[in-house]
A and B are shown apart, each in its own frame.
Chain A
Amino acid sequence: MSDVKPIPLTFRIIAGIALLVLLVPVSIVVMAGFNSGEFLRFPPDGLSLRWIKEFFVSQTFLPAFKMSFGLALATTFVSTVLGTLASVFLTRSTSRWREMLRALFIMPVILPGVVLGLALYVFYIWTDLGLARSLPGLLIGHVLVTMPFVIATVTASLVDFDLSIEEAARALGASPLQAFMKVTLPNITPGIMAGTIFAFIVSFGQFELTLFLSTPDLQTLPIAIYTSLRYAFEPTAAAAGIFAIFLVTVSTLLTSRLVNLKKLLRRH
């Protein structure tokens, strides 16, 4: 084992560059949010909580943050329920439709967001059910693009679950529902929670689909930041970004404790 060669230097250098590409933009947002000046300069002006305070009284970014948060919670709830039920079917059914359904469930994330947004918008106008530019219409779109993530994580944990434990409960007299609820469900809970967090983050950061479905009074955080970016670099947007970065970091750490990252990677 002592003979194992270290990773080549060139590889280490390029890997470092890749890390910089991933992390520098995020660090800049954090710096801009804590910067004391109007504009991030080189060298920076100094630290201040000015923009964080500004964010809490902002008429644009605070409501948008709340809107994104609430929408993501509602989306996550619907996606988790629908997706978990579907996952049980997908892992246990012997139906020949199973593969087709699996493909159908992946489709919404394969479709470019702009195309799906346009399709939904046209559909909402045609059916005239009041879904166009409404909160329920937006929620439907977000459920579509988050459910595949719930199904992927929950299916993975169901595949890993040892069925004989559930069968043992059945043999000892539990009804199918009891055996599932009392034995299987607790065992796959980490997988379901990971799927829930994934869904929340995907919904919270969703942009291209939302672009077609939101209105000025239904602005989510990505849309609000996008709109402001077309005119100026508002440091308040960066301050809002800091809270989003915090949210994503915490949830990624949570997910990595809930599911075995290595296992998840192997499946991808």
Chain B
Amino acid sequence: MTELTAEQIDTGPRSGWQAPNLWWLVLPAVLFLILFFLIPVLSLFATSFDKAFAGVITFQGNLTWDNYERIFTRALYYKAIYKSVFLGVAVSLICLVIGYPLAYVIARTLRPGTATLLTILVLASMQLDMVIRLYGMMVLMGDNGLINNGLTALGIISEPLPLMYNDFGVVVGLVQVTLPFMILSLIGAIKSINPALEEAARSLGSSRWHVMRTITWPLSLPGVYAGTLLVFALAISSYVVPALMGGWKVITLPIHIYQQIAEVGRWQFGAAVAVILFLTSLFAMTIYILALRRNAGGRV
């Protein structure tokens, strides 16, 4: 018996603050999440199956599929799903096209100072309050904004260009807001490619574009998938960007949720739209996390 104990100390589960008796450490956070996250989200699911009564929030228990049926049978609502997905796809692709080169520069520049500076700029612009950035976008793109103002002053246009309060404005706003996430997803993926592979191909006579197309791009695909899905999930979930840049003319799922609740008071129906939005985003995020895991070889 004494021998066994000695052996356990040497090779068995490590001593100190890591034994199975660490449950109390995680308990506060878990209880907090169960009470204020799991239960509320499940309540929302339950509400979405409750019969819709304007102005009534409390649970009545009249379970029905009506709310979901309404979403998929009324053009107003299924068009919002289509609009959200369309905007999400457009934004992901644009972010990929303009984000990849910047990520490449950060990952491959030979000057470490440049890489650090650019990374800090990307991180800082990601963390800055979205509403403040949208203020800048609106001053730039409004009918009396800097662009229209400048072009009119130069005599290039006589009527202001419709840059905002339409799909175009919402897409530009969403790209601004989600681009940092794309870039950060790509930097890691490009960095993990051994530069020797690219150099070898170059020294064997491949053109720079050929190397990019046949080596760098395919090897960075895990990062491309991860970034695209992350941006998609963020774009379809955004309320503030379509609200401000779309001026209530671009109706997406989050806009519907808020309108159903704030204006009509139809909580049950709003909850059903929320569930649809959640499932769409969850689907994209699950694939995103799986792609990340594969990319990181289980380190995440």
Contacts and interface: CB of A to CB of B under 8 A. Distances in A.
B296 interface: yes
A78 to B, nearest CB: 9
B135 A93 contact: no
Nearest to B281: A112
Interface in B85-133: 97-102, 104-105, 108-110, 116, 118-125, 127-133
A167 B142 CA distance: 62
B14 A163 contact: yes
A89 B26 contact: yes
Contacts of A108: 33, 37
B102 A229 contact: no
A258 B23 CA distance: 29
A230 B125 CA distance: 23
Contacts of B102: 14-15, 18-19
A113 B236 CA distance: 11
B129 A114 contact: no
Given A114-B237, A114-B239, A125-B58, A12 B257 contact: no
A14 B13 CA distance: 53
B29 interface: yes
A194 to B, nearest CB: 11
Interface in A94-139: 94-95, 101, 104-108, 110-116, 118-120, 122-123, 125-126
- Secondary structure of the A side of the interface? helix
B185 interface: yes
Question: What is the interface of chain B mostly: helix, strand, loop, or mixed?
Answer: helix
Contacts of A118: 44, 257, 261, 270-271, 274
B219 interface: no
A261 B184 contact: no
Interface in A198-237: 201-202, 204-205, 207-208, 211, 221-222, 225-226, 229-230, 233, 237
Contact of A113 (B39, B97, B239): B239
A225 B132 contact: yes
Contact of B98 (A17, A115, A116, A170): A17
B32 A143 contact: yes
B150 to A, nearest CB: 4
A24 B125 CA distance: 10
B17 A179 contact: yes
Given A18-B99, A86-B26, A170-B15, A222 B40 contact: no
B75 interface: no
Interface string A57-83: 000000000000000000000000011
A21 B215 CA distance: 28
Contacts of B209: 8
B233 to A, nearest CB: 8
Interface residues of B, number: 113
Contacts of A90: 26
B299 to A, nearest CB: 7
B139 A40 contact: yes
A113 B300 contact: no
Given A28-B136, A115-B257, A226-B240, A144 B33 contact: yes
Contacts of A86: 25-26, 28-30
For the complex of A and B, 10 pairs with smallest distance between CB atoms:
A25-B136, A112-B237, A205-B129, A92-B18, A123-B40, A89-B26, A28-B136, A86-B29, A11-B101, A42-B150
Given A82-B29, A108-B37, A245-B128, 20 more contacts: A7-B105, A7-B109, A18-B102, A21-B179, A22-B121, A25-B133, A29-B135, A41-B149, A89-B25, A106-B289, A113-B239, A115-B277, A119-B274, A125-B57, A147-B29, A184-B17, A225-B131, A233-B135, A261-B123, A266-B188
30 contacts: A5-B202, A14-B98, A29-B135, A29-B139, A32-B136, A42-B153, A86-B25, A89-B23, A92-B22, A94-B20, A104-B33, A104-B38, A107-B33, A111-B41, A114-B239, A115-B237, A115-B277, A119-B274, A120-B36, A122-B271, A176-B17, A205-B127, A207-B239, A208-B239, A229-B131, A256-B119, A261-B116, A261-B120, A266-B296, A268-B188
Interface of B: 13-18, 20, 22-23, 25-26, 28-30, 32-33, 36-41, 43-44, 47, 57-59, 97-102, 104-105, 108-110, 116, 118-125, 127-140, 142, 144, 146, 149-150, 153, 175-176, 179-180, 183-185, 187-188, 191-192, 195, 199, 202-203, 208-209, 212, 233, 236-240, 243-244, 254, 257-258, 261, 267, 270-271, 274-275, 277-278, 281-282, 285, 289, 292, 296, 299-300
Interface of A: 3-5, 7-8, 10-15, 17-19, 21-29, 32, 39-42, 82-83, 85-86, 88-90, 92-95, 101, 104-108, 110-116, 118-120, 122-123, 125-126, 140-141, 143-144, 147, 163, 166-167, 170, 176-177, 179-180, 184, 201-202, 204-205, 207-208, 211, 221-222, 225-226, 229-230, 233, 237-238, 241, 244-245, 248-249, 251-253, 255-256, 261-262, 265-268
